[in-house]
Amino acid sequence: MARLSEHGLRRSVGVPGLFATAYGNVGSSIYYALGLVAAHALGLTPVVFMFAGGLFVLTAKTYAEGASMFPEAGGSSSFARHAFNDVVSFFAGWALSLDYIITIAISAFFVPHYLGAFFPALTHNPGDIIGGLITIVLLAGLNIRGLGESAKLNLFLAVADLCTQVLLVGLGIVLVLNPSLLVNQVHLGTAPSWTQLIFALSVAMVAYTGIETVSNMAEESKDPGHDIPKAVNLVLIAVLGVYAGISVVALSALPVLHHAAGYSAALGETYKHAGYATALGGHFENDPVLGIVSRLGLHGIVLTIAKDYVGILAATILFIATNAGLIGISRLSWSLAEHRQLPSIFSQLHPKFRTPWFTIVFFSILAGLLILPGETTLLGNLYSFGAMLSFTTAHVSVVVLRFKDPKRERPYRMPWNVPIRGMPIPMTAVLGAIGTFAAWCAVVALHGEARTIGVPWMVLGMGGYFLYRKRQGLDPRRSYKIPRPERPPDFEELEYKTALVPIFGDDVSATALRSAAKLIGEEGIVYAIYVLPVPSQLSLESGLEEEEAHGRSVLESARIQARRAGIKIHTGLIRTRNPGSALVEEAERVRCDVIYWSTIHAPAGEQRIGPTAAYLLNKRPCRVIIETENRVAKRPEPVPA
């Protein structure tokens, strides 16, 4: 999870982790997007999803090139900073922040709808509103206390979700698929009307929420140039396949119905298009996947088990997606604050938990306010507004960088390049920019929410940005960055065996250093490593400047004590989310003979045999000795090379 490097980072997320995180966010959209789109697209729902999927493919390719060039948090905001200036960068970042708020709100709002499989009162107002607000409040509180993302849990849920969706498609093809019905229920110009079709196309991009996740995870990728494009391609295949299959099965299980009187009691409140309606856009609009399960022809205990399983899985994944939105907005806000595009309060840490409490509270309140009306259409329309602006900026930025910075290393280049003025211009990005901008225009023209909420959001944000930069005496176009401490000048890489001594907080023990030195002999070297845990809400590279400076002070004290005792010592500082994994990887990297850790002065949670000690003893990359207050725990057997 970490390594000793210039900034103390180890890029530890591989293709599986990137895929799991991205698919967990993008794949979760099926649980609400299907109903939102079907309410307007009716029999053309699969076609609309595939058209929107085409824009998603173009956008994903743009993000793959941009994120591999600039593996840092911020996504389109980061691309725009390098391509243009900080004004355009903030514009993209502020639009992206609206997306994150909507992701939090819409994911939280749909959690109670799927739990409605157990508690029916949660499927309608006010139960769904209260349930959504409780979800946001709960996750905000947990994130302030330092709740993180579990890579293993994300991977497990992503695989479980994908397998469930594939199984659902398979069952649907066998049990309910009716090709002739799919064709006969389309009445283009009537059901849907041309206006509704365009409206549905603009809403459909809500199905692909989460592509920014790949960019935000880029700074933690082991090999951004290789891993990010590969993960993006896997997500594309999985998402497009699932949406195509589920939307076709859905329209066979819940077809478009014609009612002379308009509405049907069985469908609840639904949209009316010349008397046509679909249960996906009505009774099952807020839990469409449960609607599909209920119409597969299953009966008795099998149907009950299937609905309960889908309800639990969907609610859990949407809960994780809500948490991912909170973590995403935290990382974005940190990136903007680090570049002095937001006030410093957005990078202020909680005095006890060391998490960005203000950012979490601020954006959680905004997400909660959007839930209060209880309108899913409002949330979907607003997401499309912010996403299309952000995606368009990303496309244009990557194209401009082909002219502005042609010599920059591009580990991944988009296909279909056409030479213009001697530069290879990616037509995928050009078409993507045209498509997403056209979709944004459609959103503004057809969606009143975009004009009444989206436009004021951007105007207020840009006005606040210029005012903030003016008060700070900063040029709004120039890029600034809060400096971080440099690495110590005596940092050296080790090429031979050594003893590794972890240090947490103020845990500087001359006894531990001397004990480690005795184990390796007079010619050996003790490597003292200060471990700085980083909460998941923060970027690995950003924030915690005071804690890092304190860590380097602690290491200087360790050097002084070691040299007085005649011990050869080298020091380093690691930023990491998983101390145990970081220490194991570092021990393997330097091929140390022994890890000697005194937990006597370690944090309360790490005293005796805490989680990090248990991890070291379990993985045992070499000889492990852990000194506790009353005894020493040993695993002396060397591990064969």
Select the more confidently predicted residue: 585 or 225: 585
Q: How many Å apart are CA 445 and CA 454, to the nearest integer?
A: 12
Structural domains of the chain, count:
2
- Answering whether pTM is above 0.85, one says no
What does the angle CA 532 – CA 537 – CA 539 come to, to the nearest 5 degrees? Answer: 60
pLDDT of 617 above 90:
no
DSSP classification of residue 326: H
Taking alpha carbons only, the member of 11, 6, 9 closest to residue 574 is: 9
Instruction: Based on the fold, state whether residues 170 and 267 are members of the same structural domain.
Output: yes
DSSP classification of residue 474: -
Q: How many Å apart are CA 188 and CA 190, to the nearest integer?
A: 5
- Are the CB atoms for 295 and 252 separated by under 8 Å? no
Instruction: Based on the fold, state whether residues 508 and 463 are members of the same structural domain.
Output: no
CATH of the domain at 543: 3.40.50.620
Helices 224-253 and 45-69 cross at an angle (nearest 10°) of 170
- Are the CB atoms for 32 and 286 separated by under 8 Å? yes
Q: How many Å apart are CA 485 and CA 464, to the nearest integer?
A: 30
Confidence (pLDDT) at 4: 36
Indicate the range of 75-79, 90-94, 232-236 predicted with least confidence. Answer: 232-236
What does the angle CA 262 – CA 266 – CA 270 come to, to the nearest 5 degrees? Answer: 50
Instruction: Based on the fold, state whether residues 571 and 506 are members of the same structural domain.
Output: yes
Which residue type, as a one-letter code, is found at position 348?
Answer: Q
Residue ending a domain, among 435, 456, 471, is 471
Instruction: Based on the fold, state whether residues 386 and 505 are members of the same structural domain.
Output: no
Confidence (pLDDT) at 219: 57
Q: How many Å apart are CA 359 and CA 331, to the nearest integer?
A: 10
For residue 376, being part of any structural domain is answered with yes
Mean pLDDT of the 147-171 span:
79
Bridge partners (DSSP) of residue 447 are none
For residue 399, being part of any structural domain is answered with yes
- Are the CB atoms for 527 and 498 separated by under 8 Å? yes
Kindly report, residue by residue over 403-454, the tens digit of the pLDDT: 998 888 888 888 889 998 888 999 999 999 999 999 889 888 887 878 889 9
What does the angle CA 185 – CA 188 – CA 191 come to, to the nearest 5 degrees? Answer: 60
Taking alpha carbons only, the member of 169, 161, 165 closest to residue 252 is: 169
Which tokens go with 163? Answer: 């397998």
Instruction: Based on the fold, state whether residues 385 and 248 are members of the same structural domain.
Output: yes
Instruction: Based on the fold, state whether residues 557 and 429 are members of the same structural domain.
Output: no
- Model confidence band, residue 640 (pLDDT cutoffs 50, 70, 90): very low
Indicate the range of 426-430, 442-446, 553-557, 634-638 predicted with least confidence. Answer: 634-638
Bridge partners (DSSP) of residue 258 are 276
What does the angle CA 41 – CA 47 – CA 51 come to, to the nearest 5 degrees? Answer: 105
Which tokens go with 391? Answer: 């995606």
Q: Is the peptide bond before 603 cis (omega within 30 degrees of 0)?
A: no
For residue 476, being part of any structural domain is answered with no
What does the angle CA 448 – CA 213 – CA 25 come to, to the nearest 5 degrees? Answer: 70
Mean pLDDT of the 501-526 span:
75
Contacts of 427 (CB under 8 A, 6+ apart): 416, 417, 418
Mean pLDDT of the 9-30 span:
69
For the chain, the helix, strand and coil percentages under 3-state DSSP, each to the nearest 5? 60, 10, 30
For residue 487, being part of any structural domain is answered with no
Mean pLDDT of the 297-324 span:
88
Instruction: Based on the fold, state whether residues 572 and 630 are members of the same structural domain.
Output: yes
- Model confidence band, residue 210 (pLDDT cutoffs 50, 70, 90): low
Q: How many Å apart are CA 10 and CA 2, to the nearest integer?
A: 4
- Model confidence band, residue 89 (pLDDT cutoffs 50, 70, 90): very high
**526-533/417-420 β-pairing:** unpaired
Q: Which domain holds residue 599?
A: 499-635
Confidence (pLDDT) at 277: 57
Taking alpha carbons only, the member of 286, 333, 224, 236 closest to residue 26 is: 236
Contacts of 226 (CB under 8 A, 6+ apart): 411
Residue ending a domain, among 471, 488, 507, is 471
The alpha carbon of 93 is separated from its chain's Cα centroid by a whole number of angstroms, namely: 15
CB burial readout 384-415, b (16+ within 10 A) else e: bbbbbbbbbbbbbbbbbbbeeeeeeebbbebe
For residue 226, being part of any structural domain is answered with yes
For residue 269, being part of any structural domain is answered with yes
Confidence (pLDDT) at 489: 40
Instruction: Based on the fold, state whether residues 431 and 357 are members of the same structural domain.
Output: yes
